Structure 1
Amino acid sequence: MKYDALISLTTCRTTVTRDEGTTERIDTSKDVTEMMFRLRDKMHESGKGTWYSAEYTITPPGSFNVDFDYDNPPSFPFEPDPRTFYQDLQQYPRRFENAPEWLNEKIRSAIAIMKQEKEQKGSEEGTTG
C-alpha cells in the first residue's frame, strides 16, 4: 500500500502481488485511509515535521515493513496548489534545516500567490469605495 498526504489531500493505492507474480490493484477501505491520516498526524515531531508518503508492505505469512518518507514530495495524479503545502507546513511545522529544497520552493510560490491575492483584493476594495 502506498499512501501520500498533505493536510487536505490524500491518495492511497493498494496493490496485491499473487503467488504467480501477477499484480492487481484493489480498493483501500476508508478505515485504512483514515488510520493512515491519523498516524501521519500523531507521528509529527516538533521541528522535524511529519512524513509525506508511507509504503506498507505485508509479506505472508506474517511479516511486514513500513517506510515513511519525510524528504520527497507526495505523489498525486495532479500538481497540488502550492498553498496546500503551505497549509501542511503550518499544521506540521519543521525547522528550516529539516525542509527539503522542493518544499522551500513550494512555500515561496505559495507566499507569492497569497501576496498577489492580497494586493489584488486591496486594489479591488480601493476601487469600490
Structure 2
Amino acid sequence: MTQPPASLNQQQQQQLVWQIGHALATPLPPGWQQMRVEYRAAGRHIEVDLLVTGQDGLPRPAQPSPEAVQLLGNLRAGMYQPGRGTWLSAILVYGSATVLSTDFLVDVEPPWRQAPPPIGFQDELRFFPRAEESIPPWLRQRAGLDVVPAAAPSVATPLAETPDSLKSPRVYDGLDESGRPVVNREPLSPAERDRVLAYLDAAPVVLASRSYDADAFDPDREPLVPLNFRTDGRWYWPGAVAYYLREHDVAPDPELLGHIRALRFTLPEVGEPERELAVAAITGQPST
C-alpha cells in the first residue's frame, strides 16, 4: 500500500461505523448492554481492545472479530485527508441499538500496549502522507525524522501546596493596536477539543458571579462569558478559557494544554484543601 484509498464521505463513514458495530456484536452472546472498542494503529502496527458490558453492568474484555478489525482499518484509511493524515486512535462506543459516541485522534500519540518500532511510524507517513506542519513533534521523533524546534513535551503540573504554586493560564496572547485579542496557538482537532472541554468543564467551580462578561472576540454579542473560576488542584482558570475554546476555537494556554494532555484528559480528584488554595490564589487572601 503506497497510496491512500479514496476518502469516504460523511454518510459512508457513518455507515461503516454501523457495520463495525454489527461485526463486533455478531459473535457476542445476547443481552449485552454496551460495547467499547479502541483501535490504535501506526503503519502496519495495530492494537484493538474491546470491552463488553453485560446485563450485570460490568465491562469485560472480549475478542473482536477479524471482520470488525478489518472494517476499522477501512474506516481509518477512508478518513485520510491529503496533507493532514488520518487518525491514529479511535474509540467507538455502542449501545444495544445505537452508536453512543465516536472519538478520533489525529495528532495525539495513542496509549500503546507496546509502542511500534520506528518503521511503523515511517510506514504511517508513507501510507498516509502528511504535510510538514501536520507532523506533530512526537510522531516526527518516533519516525526518526529530523526534529524541528517544538514546544516542550507535555508534563503534568504537580499538586499545589501553596496559593503561589497554583498556576493560571493566559486566556489569549495579547492585544493588537485596536485592543482586540491576539492568539498565536495551534487549533485543536475536533476530537481533542471535546476532550479538553470535558476536562475544563468537569473541574469544580470555586468562585462565581451571577453576571457575565463581554466576548472579547465578538464585543457586539450578548455578554455570555462566565465570570467564574475552576481548579484541578494544580491550575485555576477563568470560565473564559472554556468559553473561547467552545465559541471561537481558541486553544487553552499551551502549558495548561500540555498539563491536560499529560493527565490523559482525566481530571484528578479535587478536595476541599485544593479548592481553598485556589480561592486564596484568586482573591489574594491567605488560605485557612
Aligned to 1:127: none
Deviation at 1:48, TM superposition (A): 0.5
**Residue 62 (structure 1) aligned with residue 98 (structure 2):** yes
8 Å contact kept, 2:40–2:110? yes
1:86 paired to 2:122: yes
- The aligned length equals 110
Instruction: State the distance in 1 between where 2:75 and 2:128 align.
Output: 13
Measured at CA, do residues 18 and 89 of structure 1 come closer, stay the same or move farther in structure 2, by a change above 3 Å? Answer: same
SS of aligned partner of 2:52: strand
Q: Which of 136, 139, 144 is the equivalent residue of 1:103?
A: 139
- Decide which of 17, 22, 25 is 2:61's aligned counterpart: 25
Contact 1:6 1:74 in 2 (8 A): no
* Conservation of the 8 A alpha-carbon contact between 1:50 and 1:92: yes
In the alignment, which residue of structure 1 is the partner of 2:46? 10
Which range moves more in the overlay, 88-97 or 24-33? Answer: 88-97
Match of 1:72 among 86, 103, 108: 108
- Give the number of the structure whose residues are more often helix, by fraction: 1
TM-score, normalised to structure 1, is: 0.76
Residue 110 of structure 1: how far off its partner (Å):
5.9
Q: Distance in 1 between matches of 2:99 and 2:83?
A: 32
Q: Secondary structure at the match of 2:70?
A: helix
| Structure whose CA Rg is larger | 2
4+ runs of 1 displaced by more than 4 Å? none
**Partner Cα separation in structure 2 for residue 69 and residue 60 of structure 1:** 25
Distance 1:80 1:27 in 2: 21
Aligned CA-pair RMSD: 1.7
Unpaired segments ≥5 residues, structure 1: 112-129
Higher relative contact order (CA 8 A, sep 6+): 1
User: How far off its partner does 1:82 sit?
Assistant: 1.1
Unaligned runs of 5+ in 2: 1-36, 147-288
Q: TM-score, normalised by structure 2?
A: 0.36
Flag the structure with higher strand content.
1
- Work out the percentage of aligned pairs sharing the same amino acid: 26
